[in-house]
Amino acid sequence: MKTFYLNLFFLFIGSGIALAQDTEVQATVIGAVTDEQKKPLDYATVALFNQADSSLVKSAITDASGKFQFLQIKPGNYYVKSSLMGYSTSKSNLFKIDAKNLHITLRDLRLNSGKTSARLKSPLQSLYLSEKQTN
C-alpha cells in the first residue's frame, strides 16, 4: 500500500513538471491585405518572418475579406510580407511578441498594382528528330 501511494505521488509530481514545460507564451497575429483603393484582396500570400535570421515562421492565404491570422506564435521579433500576382510586395513594420503583447493586430498591408511583362525569345537552336535547325 505504501508503494502505491509513493507511485501516485511521483505520478502527480511528474505530470506537474510536464505541464509546466508546456506553458510557453503563444500569441496571435491578425491583419488584412488591401489594394490601393482599400478593397480587400483575397488569395494573397502572407508570410511571417523571424527578424533575427529572416527565417519563414508561418504562411497563410487571405480569405474573401482580405483577412489573415497566424496562431500559436512564440515570443520574438517578427515582420510580415504579403504578395499577390500583378501587385507589388508589401512588408510590415517590425513588431515584438512577448508576455505583454499576445494579440497583435497589424495595419492593413497595402499592395499596389503594377505592370507585369513577359518577354519571349525563340531558342537559338531547335532540335527535331530528323534535322537540326539554327536560328
Residue 64 grid coordinates: 474573401
- Residue 34 near residue 108, CB atoms below 8 Å: yes
pLDDT tens across 38-82, in order?
999 999 999 999 999 999 999 999 999 999 999 999 999 999 999
The domains of the chain, with CATH numbers, are 24-110 (2.60.40.10)
The length of the chain in residues reads 135
Residue 58 grid coordinates: 508561418
Rg of the chain over CA atoms, in angstroms?
A: 26
By DSSP bridging, strand 67-73 and strand 27-34 are antiparallel
- Categorize the per-residue pLDDT at 1 as very low, low, confident or very high, splitting at 50, 70 and 90: low
Looking at residue 59, its pLDDT comes to 96
Mean pLDDT of the chain: 82
- Residue 92 near residue 70, CB atoms below 8 Å: no
Dist. CA 66–CA 133, nearest whole Å: 50
pTM over 0.75: no
